[in-house]
Every structure is written in C-alpha cells, then in structure tokens.
Amino acid sequence: MKNLLIIFFVLGIMISCTKSKKFDSHQWKYSHEGLGHFYPHREAMLQDLTKGEYLKHLHKNEIIKILGKPDDSKNKLMYQISVEWCNSLAPEPVYVKNLIVLLNNKLIFKDFKIEEWKD
C-alpha cells in the first residue's frame, strides 16, 4: 500500500510538471540566466501558442514584439524551448528543443515547426 501511494505521488508530480498553460507574452520572454539562458515557461506554453492563432497574419516585427528577440532570424525566427546539459567539466548540450516560426516572402507568419536534437 505504501509503495502504491509513492507511485501515485510521483506520477502526480510528473503530470503537474508537464501541465500546459495558456500563452503569455511576458512569461514567454522571461529568461533565467544561468548556464546560458533558461526559459522556464516556454515548454508549458508551447502547445497553446502553436494551436492558437496568436501569430496568424502578423508581420515579423509584430511577432518579435510578442515573442521577444529570436535566437536566430535569417528567413525564420528561432526560439529556444529547452536545453539539457551533460554533467561534465565542459558542459555540452545533450538535448535541444527549438520553436521555428516560418515566414513567407513578405515576412508574414506562415507556420510553426518544432526542431529537436538529441546527442
């Protein structure tokens, strides 16, 4: 019985940690600077942002006002969602997840793409 309670407790914590939340521009832009930048709210808001119509028909400059300065902005806007680091003297990322905002030739929102990389 005790083991069963522990299992439910751990599952409850795991579910609450991955709970999605409504997109909020201020929280999306918030960064905790430690080893690089850490965006604690982006993963939870990603589903609402990509399923909603927050950026539909918007120009690149308007998107940047909502999402903040991108990490890369050539023909697309790239935003870091999450990074996991290895535990070593020279830490390197072992997992990276980015949101890519695709733009058309008039720099108007076209679509989203999620890129994930794992070492």
What is the pLDDT tens value at each position of the chain, 119 positions in all?
A: 555 445 544 444 444 455 789 999 999 998 876 555 688 899 999 999 999 999 999 999 999 999 999 988 877 999 999 988 787 766 788 899 999 999 999 999 999 999 999 98
Output the pTM of the full model. Answer: 0.76
Q: Where are the domains of the chain?
A: 21-118
Q: What is the DSSP string of the chain?
A: -HHHHHHHHHHHHHHHHT------HHHHH--EEESEEE-TTHHHHHHHHHHS-SSTT-BHHHHHHHH-S-SB-SSEEEEEEEEEE--SSS--EEEEEEEEEEE-TTSBEEEEEEEEEE-
